Structure 1
């Protein structure tokens, strides 16, 4: 426990003293506190203990399931135990769905099984399954352009590979097949849709994920293939013979039901009505234990708040941690939060989210007015020793945070190395052993610098343009 602010003022580095000797927006004593918080984070393994607790004691927590209910209860108990001043929930409404079985096999010309998983909220086959010839498309755009006669009664196979990148930038082009593929296949009369998993691994684990389902009158079964199985179908097709696949799938659409955003606050001492909002999403897909997506993010932001709550006095304004519900099925928790708090959004001075695994943070992006860049420059003095470089001013802050940015709320983003994130994303392989405790410490060190200084600074960031 930190006993007094006096302990902080003597630890400021030479580089920081050089910066603060000039007219700068952040005070020397605040930078000093942030520096010590950063170093304390690098020594603490508490964030790893949090994600371990979530994955072991709760596990999978898809929105609207019993696992989701357990996660909401777990989060409230954890925040109270970590010393938050206020912990509460806000109900959201979610579509619910029950995953059943999903089996696939090549029946001709080279019979053998395939490893598949249903995409989120996918339909069932007729009882006993269906068998049809597959027709391959390089990407969803090719499927959209194809004449219906080429697709009708067949299984549309979208064979788009995702490119690996530290930024994860290959995800956007590849995920279009998952989000729009079933809709396109159904509209052209396909019997079903198969998708090369949206991922960068070569493991025999298929990647699930959400599809666009609203307004699809006749949804068809939609399955993701593991990468090796997509390769297998590709090789079979190259032999020039029709390839037939049998699918047997059962899922069930359920009545809509409740979930919750879980919110914890460290209440500001001078401007409690002004808020720095940091978040992660509490829900996960049901294949793994959600350690990377987004258990690590949950741990990072809650541990950040815990460290700040241990200070002998509260920061100037409120630090609010929001663990959003139902992110995986369409940013539902964030969208409903913004709708419910339209009159309070001008009180949120900055938003950010941790939702990209547990790799080391390597870049600091912002979305703030240029007149406020000096604040980010001062933050960089403390982030640079962590191996972090200054990025651009186009940050969305994260998936859920993007909903706030669209309303003019300023954002900051601490971007992790995602080189291997999509090896595990939405698979049974998203488990605790993929989380490196040392990387998690570095994440918290960066987050506590950014969050504390944003909560403590005297001014604010104003608003940002809402167009993208």
Structure 2
């Protein structure tokens, strides 16, 4: 009888503990939602980071300014943060860009110098614009190179339309749409065949033009959306490279082809600042029961600099900062330590997060989970198990605590497959750490904001970002509270249908620690 009573009391105690934990869970989750809804800091943080500091290209003074700004924000919230150097990068700062057509008429053109482009002098350069010739072989191209000294060379494909396909699909006849696509495909095929005939590639031809004495490179990397161009880096050492938006670029192209011999005046000022340290900004709240176990919140801090890096990855950064702020306020004593990693140089190959993984083996060995957010402003709609065999058990348990109006949008995929790249979660997956990408609704991300001149504050959908901050805060809270350690057992990957060989888990790759520096 005593055993029965003792057993019954034990069951009651377990139920009571479970009930108290459920109550506490509800209280913390409710507090997270309340704080995120009634005291959101997202708009202010976005303004200060995007409007005030601007784009965060690795190696620029603005990147370091952003690192220091984040530390100051965390300090205001009572959170310890620091900059951890992981490498060095070519130091460069963008200046004023003016691109004006001065012949056969005067018109200011929309465009900008590319990242790390050499500067013009303050008076700029004025020169005739020419297009690449159609050649049969490398000898013909080499002969043409002798004619371009002092000229600006257009190196991008001519686009027959500046209208996105969705616009054609809505308004064009089927015959007209098919005709346009056939024409575009033919132009594309001929363009790349012609590049091959020169003996160079799209990546190496700029250096050949520079060596031949060109005054500058004029390109246009259209993003297949109205007014949107992708802005990457220059491949020249001494002459400027500018990207001109499609509408102006194609006008110039036609003027050249019709024999009008257009001339441009380009002022593209920038500063080569030598070499600068590169950092990850790391914020931490120490755990109370298991301080040597970690839950990591992950987002890359750097951006390309065509716009201000709002959705790539300003929004991911905002999610992690806001979630950490909220957790510090409503859950100040986590059982496990919480780390926020704001990684540098993701855009050049996940360098900051790969360096963190490489430099912190003890943290990596004892990480419960990583939550990464990168791709755009939309609410999270996909959550994959990332190839971890038992991810369903613990990730579903954590996700169950997320309010329904947030979680109802999310489609899960278990066990999923490991990411080999794309964003910083891959750096942790390669090290065998359960790392989950909070994949969001794209809001025309790929055409309109991913690495483009249109990636600016006005594209942020704050309701969706706020939803993601709530999701992240709850998942981190649940991962910290979970009495069990999340399993890192991996699935057996299938045979690759293309190669016929067994697929293997992604391996850790060392970061580039001396970027853009002549070695």
Pairwise CA distance, 1:349: 3.6
- Cross-structure match for 2:512: none
Pairing 1:75-90 to 2, within 5 Å after superposition: 75-84=70-79, 86-90=80-84
Asked if 1:454 is matched to 2:479, the reply is yes
8 Å Cα contact 1:91/1:260 also seen in 2? yes
Partner residue in 1 for 2:464: 439
Q: How far did residue 48 of structure 1 move?
A: 3.0
Q: Note if contact 1:281-1:325 (Cα within 8 Å) is conserved in structure 2.
A: yes
- Residue of structure 1 in register with 2:284 after alignment: 265
Match of 2:231 in 1: 208
1:364 aligns to 2:364 (yes or no): no
2:313 to 262, 272, 294: 294
Match of 2:206 in 1: 185
**Cα distance change, pair 156–411 in 1 and its aligned pair in 2 (3 A):** farther
SS for the counterpart of 1:333 is: helix
For residues 224 and 145 of structure 1, do their structure 2 counterparts lie closer, same or farther at Cα, with a shift above 3 Å needed? Answer: farther
Q: Does 1:9 align with 2:9?
A: no
Deviation, 1:433, is 3.0
C-alpha RMSD of the superposition = 4.1
Residue in 2 that maps onto 1:94 = 89
Question: Is residue 116 from structure 1 mapped to residue 111 from structure 2 by the alignment?
Answer: yes
TM-score by length of 1: 0.74
Q: CA deviation at 1:159?
A: 3.1
* 1:389 maps to which of 382, 405, 411: 411
**Which deviates further from its counterpart, 420-429 or 363-372?**
420-429
Q: In structure 2, what is the equivalent of residue 314 of structure 1?
A: 333
2:94 partner SS: strand
Paired residue for 1:466, among 506, 511, 518? 506
Deviation at 1:97, TM superposition (A): 1.1
The equivalent of 2:189 in structure 1 is none
Shift, 1:300, TM fit: 0.6
Write the deviation string for residues 72-122 of structure 1: whole angstroms up to 9, x where unpaired: 2221121122242x3222124221113234444557778754322111112
Given the alignment, which residue of 341, 360, 376 partners 1:341? 360
**Counterpart selection for 2:435 from 400, 406, 411:** 411
What are the within-5 Å matches in structure 2 for residues 414-433 of structure 1?
Answer: 414-421=438-445, 422-426=447-451, 429-433=454-458
Secondary structure at the aligned position of 1:419 is classed as coil
Deviations 1:171-221 (A, max 9, x none): xxxxxx9xx845443247673543323534323x6543345x5xx7x5653
Q: Kindly provide the CA deviation profile for residues 36-72 of structure 1, in whole angstroms up to 9, marking residues without a partner as x.
A: 3664366242333332343355444444444334322
Distance 1:54 1:377 in 2: 34
In structure 2, the CA distance between the partners of 1:338 and 1:67, relative to structure 1 (3 Å rule), is same
- Quickly say closer, same or farther: Cα 1:107–1:432, change in 2 above 3 A: closer
Residue 133 of structure 1: aligned partner: 130
DSSP 3-state at the match of 1:199: strand
- SS of the aligned residue for 1:120 comes to coil
Cα distance change on mapping 1:444 and 1:437 into 2, 3 Å: same
- Report the equivalent of 1:14: none
Displacement of 1:301 in angstroms is 0.5
User: How far apart are 1:320 and its partner, in Å?
Assistant: 0.5
The 10-residue stretch of structure 1 (353-362 or 417-426) with the greater mean CA deviation from structure 2? 417-426
Preserved CA contact (<8 Å) 2:255 2:262: no
Deviation at 1:317, TM superposition (A): 1.9
* Structure 1 counterpart SS, 2:226: coil
1:336 is displaced (CA, Å) by: 3.3
Residue 303 of structure 1 corresponds to 322
Matched residue SS, 1:310: helix
Check conservation: 1:348, 1:409, Cα contact below 8 A.
Answer: yes
Are the structure 2 counterparts of residues 151 and 403 from structure 1 closer, same or farther at C-alpha, using a change threshold of 3 Å? farther
Pair 1:38–1:70, CA change in 2 (3 A) = same
**Distance of 1:263 and 1:56 partners within structure 2:** 23
Distance in 2, matches of 1:319 and 1:373, equals: 22
Deviates more, 1:246-255 or 1:407-416: 246-255
Alpha carbons of structure 1 residues 113 and 285: separation in structure 2 relative to 1, 3 Å: same
2-side partners of 1:104 and 1:206: how far apart?
Answer: 16
**CA-to-partner distance for each residue in 1:247-285, whole Å, 9 max, x for gaps?**
634434321012432211122222222222212233445
| Distance verdict in 2 for CA 1:50–1:98, change over 3 Å | closer
Matched, 1:323 2:321: no
Contact 2:281 2:342 in 1 (8 A): yes
Q: Is the 8 A contact 1:268 1:316 kept in 2?
A: yes
Seen in structure 2, the aligned counterparts of structure 1 residues 292 and 369 have a Cα distance that, compared at 3 Å, is closer
Partner Cα separation in structure 1 for residue 72 and residue 223 of structure 2: 34
* Number of residues of Structure 1 aligned to a counterpart in Structure 2: 421
